Chain A
Amino acid sequence: MRITAEAKQETRSRILEISKRLFRDHGFEETTVRDIAREVGMATGTLFNYFRSKEEVAIALAEEALEKARLQFRRKRHQGATLQEDLFLHVSTQLRALRPIRQFINPVIESALATPFPESGSESSRRMRTEQIETVSSVLNEHTVDPERWSMTVPIYWSLYVGVLAFWGHDSSPKQEDSLAMLDQSINMFVAWLETAG
Chain B
Amino acid sequence: MAPNIAELIAALPEDTLDDVPQISDDRLHAIFEQLSTRPVPVGSFQRLWAIGGLQAKLTFAYLAYYVRTWFHSSDNKEQQLIETNLRAAFKTLQTMGYLRGAVMKVGQILAASPEILPDQFAELLEKLHFEAPPMHYSLLREHVENELGDDPGEIFDDFETESFAAASLGQVHRARLRSGESVAVKIQYPGIARTIRTDIANLRRLLFPLRISKDWDSLNAQFGEAQAVLESETDYEQESASLKEARAAFREDDGIVVPRVYDQYSTRRILTMELVDGDDYKKFLASNPSQEVRNRFGELILRTGMRLYFSHRLLYSDFHPGNFLFREDGRLGFIDFGGLRRFNDEEWALMARDGYFAMTTSNRQDLLDYIQRSLMFSDQEMEARPDVVGVVEEWANYYWQPLRFDGRFDYGDPDYFRLGASLWKKAAKLRVLRQRPVNIFAHRCNFELCALLYRLRAQVECRRIYEEEIEALGWLV
Contacts and interface: CB of A to CB of B under 8 A. Distances in A.
Interface of A: 76, 78, 81-82, 84-86, 88-89, 92, 96, 114-115, 117, 152, 155-156, 158-160, 162-163, 166-167, 173, 175-178, 180-186, 188-190, 192-193, 196-197
Report which residue of B63, B142, B189 has the largest number of chain A beta carbons within 10 angstroms of its beta carbon.
Answer: B142
B49 interface: no
28 contacts: A82-B136, A84-B136, A85-B136, A88-B139, A92-B142, A96-B142, A115-B69, A115-B70, A152-B82, A155-B67, A155-B82, A159-B62, A159-B63, A160-B63, A163-B63, A167-B54, A167-B55, A167-B59, A175-B147, A177-B191, A178-B195, A180-B190, A181-B98, A184-B133, A185-B93, A185-B133, A188-B96, A196-B88
Interface string B58-76: 1100110011011000000
B59 A175 contact: no
A162 B92 contact: no
A164 to B, nearest CB: 8
B62 A85 contact: no
A189 B92 contact: yes
A177 B96 contact: no
Given A92-B138, A177-B191, A188-B96, A152 B85 contact: yes
B470 interface: no
B135 interface: yes
Given A88-B138, A180-B143, A166 B93 contact: no
Contacts of B85: 152, 156, 193, 197
B62 A178 contact: no
A190 B88 CA distance: 11
Contacts of A177: 143, 146, 190-191, 269
Contacts of B67: 155, 159
Nearest to B89: A193
B17 interface: no
Main secondary structure of the interface of A (DSSP, over half): helix
Nearest to A175: B146
* Size class of the contact patch on chain B: 35 or more
A114 B68 CA distance: 13
B86 interface: yes
B321 to A, nearest CB: 30
B51 to A, nearest CB: 15
Interface string B393-412: 00000000000000000000
Given A192-B92, A193-B85, A180 B142 contact: yes
Contact of B191 (A85, A180, A197): A180
Contacts of B139: 85, 88, 92, 180, 183-184
B98 A193 contact: no
B191 to A, nearest CB: 4
Given A162-B62, A178-B190, A181-B192, A78 B137 contact: yes
B19 to A, nearest CB: 42
A155 B70 contact: yes
B194 interface: yes
Nearest to B66: A159
B194 to A, nearest CB: 7
B89 A166 contact: no
B190 A193 contact: no
Nearest to A149: B85
Nearest to A193: B89
